Amino acid sequence: MKLFHVSEEKNISIFHPRLPSRKDLDPTVGLVWAINEKCFPNFLTPRNCPRVTFYANEATTEADSTNYLSSKSVNHVVAIEHKWFEIMKSTTLYVYEFDSSDFYLQDLGAGYYVSEKSQVPIRQFEIQDLFGELFKRNIEVRLLTNLWDLSDKIQQSSFQYSMCRMGFAEQRLKEV
């Protein structure tokens, strides 16, 4: 299994465990975070870019596929807000690959794995064209004014999903 850490920081030589800020995790246990290959495209955005990501799996219904995917040739979507388009075009990401032996699954749907030990990357590479990398991986990219409607709907769907950095998203649109 391949595990990755995606960063805007170049040349990180060692990843030390950090105490999590998430309320659902033990705040006294430091973790190094990694993402599996399936969910790797969810992180091909600038760090603080809010995004709604989802992909079809064996539980995804035909109705959800028809309603939320643009074609039968796509099964994974990354949606961002319009205002992040230019930022994303000019962002370079650095990808660090880890030996997976010290990692354990933290969240299957989101593809998160964690290690309580410091990690030295086994490989590093750079991605300068984030949109091109997503397209190469057959990921549908959606540019939206506001992510909240899609977020609410996808959470009620049969897709695997992950909402990242939603604290940086535009406020919910008020109904008139």
Section 145-155 average pLDDT: 96
Q: For residue range 74-122, what is the model confidence (pLDDT) as tens digits?
A: 999 999 999 999 999 999 999 999 999 999 999 988 999 999 999 999 9
Cα separation of 7 and 85, whole Å?
Answer: 18
105 contact partners, CB below 8 Å, separation of at least 6: 112, 113
Token pair for residue 95? Answer: 């990808």
Diameter of the chain measured on Cα atoms:
53
Token pair for residue 111? Answer: 């593809």
Q: For residue range 42-62, what is the model confidence (pLDDT) as tens digits?
A: 999 999 999 999 999 999 999
pTM: 0.93
